[in-house]
Structure 1
Amino acid sequence: MAATPREHTRTYYLGKLATELEQRGLTATLRPYPPALRISDPDTIMLAETVDCVPLSEGWFYRWSWGELVGLADDPTLAAERIVHVLAARG
């Protein structure tokens, strides 16, 4: 099955987020279908979360696995900071 333009956009935004997360010391693995990131802290192996990317009327947004929005996909730096903050609070 060929990837749709929407899946390419998701993968593009998730790749930008993965880069930001890795610069902050987290591991981010892209799950191909449906596109999503599995994010973990290598220091606390048990701590992991999944983030995907969805189009809404206001643009593309990163979204936690439980449905809450992380932030605008056009600002992966801010989204990465929020993810790091949430994972640190759980650790």
Structure 2
Amino acid sequence: MSATPREHTRTYHLGKLATELEQRGLTALLRAHPPALRISHPDTHMLAETVDCVPLSEGWFYRWSWGEIVGLTDDPALAADRIVRVLAARQ
């Protein structure tokens, strides 16, 4: 089964976010079907979150597992900063 263009777009955006998260000291593992990132702090693997990527009328957005929008895929650095803050608040 080959990936659809939409899955390729999701994977592309999630890859950009993964790079930003890893630069901030987090671990980001890409799940293939459906494309999503499993994000955790290397020292506290029990504390993890999943972020996916969805197209909305205003563009592509990163989205938390509970459905809330993290941010636009046009700014993966800003989205990564928000994810870091949320995970830090849960420690």
When the two structures are superposed, what TM-score results if normalisation uses the length of structure 2? Answer: 0.99
* CA-to-aligned-CA distance 1:28-68 (integer Å, 9 cap, x gap): 00000000000000111210000000000000000000000
Distance 1:2 1:90 in 2: 37
Q: Quote the sequence identity (%).
A: 86
Match in the other structure for 1:29: 29
The TM-score with structure 1 as length reference comes to 0.99
**2:88 alignment partner, SS class:** helix
CA RMSD in angstroms comes to 0.4
- AA paired with 2:14? L
Residue matched to 2:50: 50
1:63 equivalenced with 2:63 (yes/no)? yes
Task: Name 1:5's counterpart in structure 2.
Answer: 5
- Which secondary structure does the structure 2 equivalent of 1:86 belong to? helix
- Structure 1 stretches of 5 or more lacking a match? none
Question: 2-side partners of 1:27 and 1:20: how far apart?
Answer: 10
What secondary structure, in the 3-state scheme, does the structure 2 residue paired with 1:37 have?
strand
Runs of 4+ in 1 over 4 A off after TM superposition: none
> Structure 1 CA distance, aligned partners of 2:2 and 2:44?
36
Report the number of matched residues. Answer: 91
Helix, strand or coil: the match of 2:25?
Answer: coil
- Give the counterpart letter for 1:63 in structure 2: R
